[in-house]
Amino acid sequence: MLANYRIIDADSHVFEPTEMWPDYLPSEFKAFAPSTDMTIKGEKIYHKISAQVRQIGIQQIMKSHSASVLSRFSPESHLRAMEQMGIDIAYVYPTISLWLLGIDTMEPKIAGAFVHAYNNWLRDYCSYNPQRLQGVGTINLHEPEQMISELRRVAEFGWTAVVLRPNLVKLTSCT
């Protein structure tokens, strides 16, 4: 806290470990868990990102968050980084999940499984210190019928924000 003001990081990101997906995805969707090489069944999960931009991004993460990288971006390392920067509260956004949910051709049920799994994982991650780590949920733009129920579900976690991808996705028809 600085001069009786709380310092808030309104755009903190977590790097979801690939090993979390098999633990949080329902059994019928485990085969779609992203691999360590950022693919799903051999298909890249990131699009329109050049190799050079990816490489520079990785270098920047390694440079500015080396302790977090070494501890696999655990909630403990997140809090240590916040301490070092003088941050009292962080609103925690996804990273890998943003790429996943940007896949235009993803089947709505698969996208829904990713949304549900990510939100459950982030709830567990933030439960390490929920006063300081505030989750920012995701919702399924691939299936509009599911958006409201997931919004209500993350609100029950005590979260006050969700993130929406800015790109259009092939939505199913609403009836």
Query: Does residue 59 lie in a domain region?
Result: yes
pLDDT above 70 covers a percentage of the chain that reads 84
Query: Does residue 144 lie in a domain region?
Result: yes
In the predicted model, what is the mean pLDDT of residues 59-83? 74
| pTM of the full structure | 0.85
For 102, the enclosing helix (H) or strand (E) is none
Query: Does residue 103 lie in a domain region?
Result: yes
- Residue 75 above 90 pLDDT? yes
Query: Does residue 52 lie in a domain region?
Result: yes
C-alpha to C-alpha distances, 29 to 5, 7, 25, 76, 108, nearest whole angstrom: 45, 39, 6, 29, 12
Query: Does residue 13 lie in a domain region?
Result: yes
If one counts every other C-beta atom within 10 angstroms of the C-beta of residue 151, the result is 13
Could you tell me which of 114, 94, 96 has the C-alpha nearest to residue 106?
114
Tell me how far apart the alpha carbons of residues 119 and 126 are, in angstroms, rounded to a whole number.
Answer: 10
| Number of structural domains in the chain | 1
Task: Name the band, by pLDDT with cuts 50, 70 and 90, for residue 66.
Answer: low
Side-chain half-sphere of 119: how many Cα atoms within 13 Å?
27
Query: Does residue 168 lie in a domain region?
Result: no
If one counts every other C-beta atom within 10 angstroms of the C-beta of residue 58, the result is 11
CATH of the domain at 23: 3.20.20.140
Show the domain range for 107: 8-163
Query: Does residue 171 lie in a domain region?
Result: no
Task: Name the band, by pLDDT with cuts 50, 70 and 90, for residue 28.
Answer: very high
